Amino acid sequence: HIAMSLMSSNVNSSGLPMLSGPADQMRLGLSALEGSHGSAPHPIQQMMSSETAWMNKLNSTRRLYGSHMAMRLATEKEIMSRNHRLGGLESSSIGLQTLLGTDTKIDFSDFLNDPMSRPEMPKLTVHSHMEVQLGLL
């Protein structure tokens, strides 16, 4: 009964919860802190929100400019997401980042996902990689 009265006192007239005092963790438990915005969202949640943002961008483009423009954007995304260089050479994805609008933000994948710094990746030269692809070795 006491917890219910504490919960009702934390809601203002607009229906939004407000913190009127320190959270009583002994009565409410750690679940009282779940609504706090002190932690960053999970990376998977960020990826899913970026996918829904891309779908929203396609849908709004389709409504404003027609389906041909949305198809063009989807085709450009598909082309830009491919590797454009031979194996063994570093490929840049600046076109895809510009298309998606992520070129102005620094994210974990910008500095933690460098394929050339992975220890398990073999460091092949361009010539040896082409020999493997063509079956000469």
Q: pLDDT of 119-137, one tens digit each?
A: 766 667 778 878 888 888 7
Separation in Å, CA 49 to CA 45, 46, 63, 134: 6, 5, 21, 41
Return the percentage of the chain with pLDDT > 90, whole number.
16
18-27 burial code (b ≥16 CB/10 A, e <16):
eeeeebeeee
**17 and 35 Cβ atoms separated by less than 8 Å:** yes
Picking from 35, 6, 8, the residue whose alpha carbon sits closest to that of residue 21 is 6
Angle at CA of residue 84, ends 80 and 89, nearest 5° = 135
pTM over 0.75: no
- For residue 115, the model assigns a pLDDT of 65
Picking from 96, 102, 101, the residue whose alpha carbon sits closest to that of residue 83 is 96
pLDDT band at 110 (very low <50, low <70, confident <90, very high): confident
| Section 79-89 average pLDDT | 77
Structure tokens at 17: 């919860």
